[in-house]
Amino acid sequence: MGLLDKIKKKKGNADLPEMVPSAGWDAITSAFEKVYPDQKDPKHYGTLISWELGGNDPLNGISIYETDYYYHFVTYGLSELFGKESDVPEVSGYGMEFTMKLKKSCIAPEDEEGELRCVCGIFQKIARITFTSGECFNAYEYLYTGQTTGIDLNRTSLLTGYITVDDTSVSAIDTPNGRVNFVEFIGCTNDELLALKEKRVTVKELYEKLDSDITDYKRESVI
């Protein structure tokens, strides 16, 4: 995962003084704790060298909540986590954070840590697009890279890219720094993504065919 390392989740950024308010960060955590009230200390991967200090990873961190069935990832860093910096009061930062639900049973036990880090690394790469170009991601879009290898750790899955929807478990929130939408990524196969690219199907139609928002590295194409 590059510069990411597992750390204990804290309120605020390790690169900033402790007195810096973390209202944006806390609002994200609060939204997920409403869904997972028993998980006050989820697995968290934080960035060792921040983007502002010249690091390669723009996200401040990624938390992973769990059910018996899947891991639920959420990013911290595309919205304004600390003080308000932008001139748009109604929107926090880029107005979004990324999420994903990864099916547990599609992961080999010995690959668990690597697969979690792999997802975090991919989210850092996607966030880098936003930080360098200003491109934002909304629900019912797709991310097609043209790669033929899987997005899983061992690159053996048929899933090579993503579609996006509004997170089905955590709704958009209003924070002291503005509104934040949770954009959920769902892994898709190359055939599915080509069908989207060639306009043979819409993202909403494909999502209906999938009939699930959970990414399963072992599934076959529905196209």
Mean pLDDT computed over 107-132: 96
Predicted confidence (pLDDT) at residue 36 exceeds the cutoff of 80? yes
Q: Is residue 141 in a domain? A: yes
Residue 71 counted as domain residue = yes
Q: Tell the residue number behind the tokens 């750790």, with chain if given.
A: 153
Q: What percent of the chain has pLDDT over 90?
A: 84
Strands 159-166 and 4-6, by their bridges, are: unpaired
Residue 221 falls inside a structural domain: no
What confidence category does residue 20 fall into, taking pLDDT thresholds of 50, 70 and 90?
low
- Domains identified in the chain, total number: 1
Quick one: pLDDT at residue 211? 97
Neighbours of 179 (CB within 10 A): 16
Q: What is the 3-state secondary structure (H, E, C) of 63-82?
A: EEEECCCEEEEEEECCCCCC
Beta bridge partners of 186: 163
Mean pLDDT of 116-125: 97
Residue 73 lies in a domain: yes
Nearest CA among 127, 141, 129, 123 for reference residue 197: 141
Token pair belonging to 114: 């690597």
**Angle subtended at Cα 99 by Cα 177 and Cα 188, rounded to the nearest 5 degrees:** 145
Average confidence (pLDDT) over 14-38: 82
Summarize pLDDT for 165-205 with one digit per residue, the tens. Answer: 999 999 999 999 999 999 999 999 999 999 999 999 999 99
Confidence of residue 47 (pLDDT cuts 50, 70, 90): confident
Whether 223 is in a domain gets the answer: no
38 pLDDT more than 90: yes
Q: What is the pLDDT of residue 51?
A: 77
Q: Find the distance separating the first CA and the last CA of the chain, reported in whole Å.
A: 32
- The answer to whether residue 222 sits within a structural domain is no
- Per-residue model confidence as pLDDT tens digits over 207-216: 999 999 999 9
Q: How would you class 65 by CB atoms within 10 Å of its CB: exposed for 0-12, middle for 13-18, buried for 19 or more?
A: buried
Range of the domain at 18: 4-215
Per residue in 150-164, pLDDT tens?
999 999 999 999 999
Q: Which residues contact 12 (CB under 8 A, 6 or more apart)?
A: 18, 20, 22, 25, 82
Percent of the chain with pLDDT over 70: 91
| Beta strand 159-166 pairing with 178-189 | antiparallel
Estimate to the nearest angstrom the gap between the alpha carbon of 156 and the chain centroid: 21
196 falls within a domain? yes
Question: Crossing angle of helices 203-210/190-197, nearest 10°?
Answer: 150
Instruction: Please report whether residue 220 resides in a domain.
Output: no
Residue 208: phi and psi, rounded to 5, are: -65, -40
